[in-house]
Every structure is written in structure tokens, then in C-alpha cells.
């Protein structure tokens, strides 16, 4: 059984509720706590986790790079980049890695195959056996990187490989990619909110 705890905004008590739920289920069955808020993981704080037994760097996205020797400076990559990551300078074209989303459009339009996509280590998967007798699996997106939803998918694959009967997933705030990746395929969703216009 997979139970996700989510909300449309932050600060409603999702992580506190998810940790309590994991503790309650652990009294009767094998549980895994899964912190899917890879932008700001804090489920570990509620479970008394300050360090992790394992931390593995992962790549779930790519960045474009121009091979200068091949580039004919036609500018097609600049014209098609929807993220403004390609810049024209006095020495030719360059790609700003902080703006590149790794979508690959520039590579598709380049007539001389002067653009390569390379994997980037954009996050990590961490695990810890909690003092409560069940594991916590947590993900972390590196600052400035993209692909939070993909990291959540990988995080869930890792959690699914462990022996368990119930997974309690603590989703990120809002309705973006990491939340969709957290909710997908779950049996139940518990929505935590507050009596405010923003909560509504």
C-alpha cells in the first residue's frame, strides 16, 4: 500500500503528519518512509535523522554543450532555445548551464551536430535506518539543477526495492512535477490543509 501526504501549499504540517503515520504503521507492519520533497527534504527531522547511512549521487538530467571545433555559427540553436540558455559572444556561441534545461532542441536543429548532451549529477538518494525500526529514503535536488520529478521517480524505485508492506510518501508543497511524481501510482492521498484562503 502506498499512501502519499500532500497539500497545495507549504507549512501545513505534511511532514509531521507523514512521520506520525509511518510511526503508527510501524507498530503493526513493515513500513518505509519516503521523503519526496527533494527541494527541501525535512521528513528526517521529524524522525530524528541527522545523518544518513548511504548517500548516492545520481543523474536524471542532461545539459547541452557546444563543440567549438564543429560549430559553424549558424545561430539556429540560439533561435530555438526556449530557455535563453544560448548566448552569442564575440568568440562564438556558448551555453549557460544554469539556464539549460537539457531539452535537446538545440541538438536537433544543429545542421553539423556541434551540440552534445551530457549527463549531470543533479541530485542524490539518501537512506537511513531510523531508530524507530524502519528505513527512511530521501532525495535531494542539487542547488540550481532541474529534474525534481525525475529524482522523485528514482527515489520511489529505490524505496520499492526494499522489503515493506506500506510506503508513506511525504510530497513536496504545491502541485508541480515532484508532487505529480509522488502521487502517481499511490493507493491513497491524504491532503493536509489549513483554514485560510491560501489553503483553500
Half-sphere exposure of residue 188, counting CA atoms within 13 Å on the CB side?
Answer: 9
Is residue 26 within 8 Å of residue 37, measured between CB atoms?
A: no
Fold of 62-119: Alpha-Beta Plaits (3.30.70)
Rounded to an integer, what distance in angstroms lies between the CA atom of residue 138 and that of residue 44? 8
pLDDT at 9: 85
Rounded to an integer, what distance in angstroms lies between the CA atom of residue 186 and that of residue 4? 7
Residue 126 has pLDDT above 80, yes or no: yes
| pLDDT tens column, 148-165 | 899 999 999 999 999 999
pLDDT at 161: 93
Is residue 86 within 8 Å of residue 93, measured between CB atoms?
A: yes
E strand map for 31-91: 31-35, 54-58, 61-66, 86-89
DSSP strand pairing (188-191 vs 54-58)? unpaired
pLDDT at 135: 96
Residue spans per domain, the chain: 2-52+122-191, 62-119
pLDDT at 153: 94
Place of cell 520511489: 156
pTM of the model: 0.82
Rounded to an integer, what distance in angstroms lies between the CA atom of residue 114 and that of residue 166? 48
| pLDDT tens column, 25-51 | 999 999 999 999 999 999 999 999 989
The DSSP element (H or E) to which 128 belongs, if any, is strand 123-129
Cell numbers placing 25: 504503521
Helix (H, G, I), strand (E, B) or coil at 23: helix
Q: Check if CATH label 3.40.50.280 holds for domain 2-52+122-191.
A: no
Amino acid at each position: 500500500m502506498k499512501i502519499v501526504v500532500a497539500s497545495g501549499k507549504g507549512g501545513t504540517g505534511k511532514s509531521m503528519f507523514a512521520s506520525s503515520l509511518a510511526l503508527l504503521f510501524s507498530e503493526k507492519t513493515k513500513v518505509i518512509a519516503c521523503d519526496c520533497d527533494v527541494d527541501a527534504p525535512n521528513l528526517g527531522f521529524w524522525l530524528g535523522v541527522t545523518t544518513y547511512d548511504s548517500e548516492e549521487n545520481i543523474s536524471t538530467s542532461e545539459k547541452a554543450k557546444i563543440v567549438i571545433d564543429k560549430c559553424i555559427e549558424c545561430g539556429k540553436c540560439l533561435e530555438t532555445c526556449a530557455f535563453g540558455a544560448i548566448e552569442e559572444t564575440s568568440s562564438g556561441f556558448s551555453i549557460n548551464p544554469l539556464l539549460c534545461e537539457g531539452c535537446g532542441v538545440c541538438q536537433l536543429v544543429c545542421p553539423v551536430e556541434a551540440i552534445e548532451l551530457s549527463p549531470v549529477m543533479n541530485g542524490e538518494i539518501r537512506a537511513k535506518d531510523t531508530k524507530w525500526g524502519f528505513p527512511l529514503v530521501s532525495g535531494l535536488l542539487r542547488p540550481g539543477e532541474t529534474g525534481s520529478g525525475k529524482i522523485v521517480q528514482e527515489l520511489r524505485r529505490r524505496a520499492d526495492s526494499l522489503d515493506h508492506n506500506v510506503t508513506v510518501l511525504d510530497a513536496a508543497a504545491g502541485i508541480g512535477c515532484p508532487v505529480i511524481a509522488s502521487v502517481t501510482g499511490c493507493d491513497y492521498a491524504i491532503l493536509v490543509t489549513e483554514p485560510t484562503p491560501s489553503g483553500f
